[in-house]
Amino acid sequence: MTLLCCRHCGSSLHHEVIDLGHQPPSNAYLGADQLGGPEITYPLKVYLCTSCWLMQLPAHTPAETLFGADYAYISSVSTSWCAHAERFVAAAVERLSLDPDSMVVELASNDGYLLRHVLERGIPCLGIEPTRSTAQLARERSIPTLERFFSLALAEELIDSAGPVAGGADLVVANNVLAHVPDINDFLAGIARLLKPTGQASIECPHLLQLLAGNQFDTIYHEHYSYLSLAVLQRIATSVGLRVVDVEELPTHGGSLRVWLTRSGAGTPTARVAAVLAAEQAAGLETTQAYQGFQKRAEAAKHELLDFLLRAGRKGQQICGYGAAAKGNTLLNYAGVKRDLLAAVADRAKSKIGKFLPASHIPVLSPEQLAARQPDALLVLPWNIATEVQQQWREAGCGDQPFYRAIPTLELLP
């Protein structure tokens, strides 16, 4: 038996939180020529470290494998996420008084969805993005982009006198990437090194408190190594020379935190930091009791979904999905849903259209192609943008079918 150790403190991992079976990586979409071949699956079992309280998934496969050259997730596909990024940039520029003499670095900058708003303001910036397909899209927008995984060693290169961030960054942005990092200590240490003495980092990540409260087990997949509370993030940040000075609670991704950090010794934590920490303590996140029942709630949601799809099938109804999202693959593969129960899934991302979902082999179509099939109802897989999805479907004249979501429980959307 392999000994599993906490990625932050190194303690042995014994406390199992939830087991979603063996699954392939959620973004490992298949071409038609791959359907007859084997698929590698890995355990999707999450543990809780009872020493530092980091909830985590062991790194069964290297990040280089998960975030390959043809990585399919493109941030700009979601209009609501792009609007979120634009609002953030406007607020950050005002908050930190950023100007053409400043430097902004974004980690996991994807296709430049956020940095383009920085560039429009004449502020120097650099994107760091390991996936070739998205990095190329950013460069086509004239956004300076380094195709590398971020680390402490890379931070040292960047701030070297001959590096592109000589002198350090005024703002380091890391949106929805911290959970994707196998070596979380090294990543945060790299941020501490990259910041100017007066600089700040902004990290957005799904909030563990909301994940548990909302039964969001589908956000567990192999790309997400860590599931973070503010208390745990603060603990890790402190260990590498960073201080949490502010936090904002956001509705994105089912409930996220935007955490502002400075180098240790700079800044004073706001009352909002204490308030979120108190809420986490009240929920018992640093006790094993808070995680009891999560497995059963996931099983109940799975059974509800299967019952819905089976009843529709018996009635001769065709149910299709909308949004070939990674979270949707976790849900479908946990429930064992195949093409006989969910005929197809629509998505706007050209990188996914014409491919097939991993394991389930459900085809991904354009919204127009799916509309031509005249489905009886649609299951929204990226439930966090359900309103946006419905609006896109109806504005395109695709139909007025009912929309459902399966998380936290099955429900008909208004």
Beta-bridge partner residues of 260:
202, 246
Among 178, 172, 221, 225, smallest CA distance to 55 is for 225
Task: Give the Cα separation of 363 and 399 in Å (integer).
Answer: 20
Judge whether 56 and 17 are in contact, CB under 8 Å.
Answer: no
* Helix extents (H) in 315-385: 326-335, 367-372
Query: Which tokens hold the place of 289?
Result: 């009791």
Distance between alpha carbon 200 and the CA centroid of its chain, in Å?
A: 22
Measured distance CA(154)–CA(388) in Å, rounded? 37
Cα separation of 8 and 236, whole Å? 7
Give the model's pLDDT for residue 1.
Answer: 47
Report CA 198 to chain centroid distance, whole Å: 29
With 0-12 CB in 10 A as exposed, 13-18 as middle and 19+ as buried, what is 234?
buried
Name the 3-class secondary structure at 36: coil
Phi, psi for residue 76 in degrees, rounded to 5: -70, -10
First to last CA, the chain: 49
Candidates 3.40.50.720, 3.30.930.10, 3.40.50.1110, 3.30.450.20; CATH matching 302-412: 3.40.50.720
The tens place of each residue's pLDDT in the chain, 414 residues long, gives 457 999 999 999 999 999 999 999 998 999 999 999 999 999 999 999 999 999 999 987 765 565 555 555 566 677 888 899 999 999 999 999 999 999 999 999 999 999 999 999 999 999 999 988 889 999 999 999 999 999 999 999 999 878 789 989 999 999 999 999 999 999 999 999 999 999 999 999 999 999 999 999 999 999 999 999 999 999 999 999 999 999 999 999 899 999 999 999 888 999 999 999 999 999 999 999 999 999 999 999 999 999 999 999 999 999 999 999 999 999 999 999 999 999 999 998 888 999 999 999 999 999 999 999 999 999 999 999 999 889 889 887 888 999 999 999 999 999
Q: How far apart are CA 288 and CA 107, in angstroms?
A: 33
CB 60 within 8 A of CB 23: no
State the span(s) of the chain assigned CATH 3.40.50.150. 75-291
For position 394, what pLDDT does the model report? Answer: 86
CB-based contact 139:145 (threshold 8 Å):
yes
Residues making up the chain, counted from first to last? 414
- Residue 197 belongs to what H/E stretch? strand 195-206
Q: Which helix (H) or strand (E) holds 125?
A: strand 125-128
Query: 75-291 maps to which CATH number?
Result: 3.40.50.150
Compute, in degrees rounded to 10, the torsion defined by CA atoms 96, 98, 101, 104: 90
Record the pTM: 0.92
- Of 146, 175, 155, 184, residue with least CA distance to 63: 184
Pinpoint the residues of the chain covered by CATH 3.40.50.720: 302-412
Which pLDDT belongs to residue 70?
Answer: 56
Query: Hey, what are 255's tokens?
Result: 């409930």
